[in-house]
Every structure is written in structure tokens, then in C-alpha cells.
Amino acid sequence: MRVLILEDEPDIAEVLERYLLKINPEIEVIGVIHSIASAKEWFIQHPEPDLLLIDVRLADGNSFEIFEEVEVECPVIFTTGHEEYALKAFELNSIDYLLKPVKLKDLKKSIEKYEKVNRPAGGKARLEGLLSDMGHGGESFRTRFLVKKGQSFTTVIIDEVAYFCVENQLTFLYTHGGKRHLLDLTLDQLIKQLDPNRFYRVNRQFIVSAESIQTIHNYFNNRLTIKLMPKPIDTEQVVVSARKVVSFKEWLDR
């Protein structure tokens, strides 16, 4: 597990790093960042960590500013001395919200929660994987999905899939025909199973196929917006973050 710490008090950052290594010696703290400006620059220049441990108030402002300007898809554990930010924190990709001073036992519970969310999916997902393996003769990418239809199950072949999205912390598959199916998989799990020539993860909420993209427009801060067909339930347009624009265009132009 690669963890990035955002904390402007060196003593607290040192304690958090020590706690993490006590919880799991295989955790790698890949950096400690002390300001919002440095965090924005870091996310533009580096691949995302597996987990972000972040103080709400940093020396140069409120850390929520980072999420407004930079696309952050990794899970987050917030640490703060102020309870009033809890609701805002859970609107983001938050695993937990810990009040300072952070205790070892509380951080341990948060890490366990992270591991539970990111552990391999269970029974139904394994059945989906078995069905997929049977259908593609040893290739590494999905060819179909097992989905529930009433009290029974049916399959959706990969050619029918328009995109995948997260709505209210649940993952849905949308077909080109406008049907919507609940999946027992996270986007992190899905992206590893999909052909990268056919599907691209544009942000933490959407994995799209090229065929589902109806229009593309420039957006502020060097980002793009795309309009999908069929239309998602929760949003009119989907934002492609600035750090993904180049690779997104390259993907479309293959």
C-alpha cells in the first residue's frame, strides 16, 4: 500500500508515519506534503497513491481546494481537529474522518476499512469472473458480465456496454440501449479487467467506451467535459481532469 501524507505539522506527520508502519510494516509512505500548493503540483506530476492521509486545514488554506482543482481518485482518510468538516469530507472519496490527536487504534480501524473496501470481490463477482474466463478462452479481458434481472440473472456482453459509473457509492453498468445494471465490483477492480483499447477511466466516477462519447468540449483549468449517451442519471456532463487530457486524447486517436 502506497500512502501519501498531507500534514503541515512535521511532528504529527512523523507520528502518522510511525503508526502506519506499526499497523502494517509493508505500507510505504511515498511522501509527506506540507501545503496545498505543493499537493496540487504533486498530483499533476505523479501517479496517484493507493491511499491519501490528509489534514483538512493546512498552512496555506483548506485542503478541500485540492479536490476542486485536481482530479483525485484515490481513497482518502481525513484528519482534523474540527468536526464541522465531516459532511464535506464524506462528499469526496473519503474512507474515514479522524479527529486529532489521532490515536493508533482509530487509524488502524480506518486502514482495515480501506482494506475491506479494496479487497477482492466475493461470491457473485467470482461467478462473474468464472463466466468471463469460460467465454474468452484465456484472454485477459472481460467479454461479458453477469447481472441480476428481477429474481434471476442474465448476461451483458462487452459490446453492449457504454460505460460504468459510481452513483451513491454503488457501481452501475450502462448499456448502449439505455439499460442500467448494478455490479458487485468497484471501478478499481473493473479497470483491471477491461481492454484498455476499448475503455478509459476519465475520473474517479466514470469508465467510458469511445462509442458512448457524444461530444467533447474544452473546460476551465485545462480540463475537458464529455457528454455521454445514454445520459447518466446523476450528471449532465463528465469532467476529464487536466492531468488525463493528453492520455485521453491519445486513447481516442488510436
Q: Does the pLDDT at position 111 exceed 90?
A: yes
Angstrom distance (rounded) from CA 80 to CA 90:
14
Q: What does the pLDDT look like over 140-196, one tens digit per residue?
A: 789 999 988 777 888 999 999 999 999 888 899 999 999 999 998 889 889 989 999
Q: Is the pTM of this model over 0.85?
A: no
Q: What does the pLDDT look like over 199-253, one tens digit per residue?
A: 999 988 899 999 999 999 998 877 899 999 999 987 888 998 777 888 999 999 8
Angstrom distance (rounded) from CA 218 to CA 209:
19
Show the cell assigned to 27.
505500507
Q: Is 59 exposed, middle or buried (0-12, 13-18, 19+ CB in 10 A)?
A: exposed
Looking at the chain, which residues constitute the CATH 2.40.50.1020 domain(s)? Answer: 125-252
Residue 151, Cβ neighbours under 10 Å: how many? 5
Looking at the chain, which residues constitute the CATH 3.40.50.2300 domain(s)? Answer: 2-118
CATH architecture of 125-252: Beta Barrel (2.40)
Does domain 2-118 fall into CATH 3.40.50.2300? yes
Q: What does the pLDDT look like over 29-60, one tens digit per residue?
A: 999 999 999 998 888 788 788 899 999 888 88
